[in-house]
Amino acid sequence: MTPGLRKFMLTVHLTFSVGWIGAVVAYLALGVSAVTSQDVQTVRAAWIAMELIGWYAIVPLALASLLTGLVMSLGTKWGLFRYFWVLITFVLAVFATTILLQHMPDVSSIAELAREANAADLGGLGGDFFHAGGGLLVLLVIMVLNVYKPPGLTSYGWRKQYEERKVSPDVDTTT
């Protein structure tokens, strides 16, 4: 990947990744609002908004971040399997995206219930702290790994590094 393309892809990847974190924070704020509010309309609106943010912001940003992260890892010196921090970051992103995709139908069901329920039934809906809080924690761990890049090559990384450093056998050292 050329330096210009790498910088462009990094910008795109960071935009999607930071957007994912921001959308999760907004979702979490709505979840807090749904739990703490005594106003029926606020609870109803929070769940409907959580469904919209989930499907139209969080899911697309998660998928785009995962895809651009994969492109970045495969197109740069870091590779996908050379360094533990890259591999762990990718596995965590896949894990977070998988949980997200499995959880969103439940959010849609609760949002539908919130649309149709009478005021007395909305009091027990609560919020969605566990998934949003856990997701945010995973995303922050990913961010820290990407910023600090802790050392540690995988066995594949050691092998590739060794191959790159080997001296070519046809170099004549007698002259």
What are the structural domain ranges in the chain? 3-160
For tokens 């566990």, name the residue.
130
Collapsed DSSP state (helix, strand, coil) of residue 27: helix
Distances (CA, A) of 105 to 25, 87, 111, 121, 131: 20, 29, 10, 20, 13
CA 75 to chain centre: 19
The per-residue pLDDT string of the chain (175 residues; one tens digit each, 9 = 90 and over) reads 899 999 999 999 999 999 999 999 999 999 999 888 888 899 999 999 999 999 999 999 999 999 999 999 998 888 899 999 999 999 999 999 999 999 999 999 999 999 998 877 776 777 788 899 999 999 999 999 999 999 898 888 888 888 888 845 555 555 5
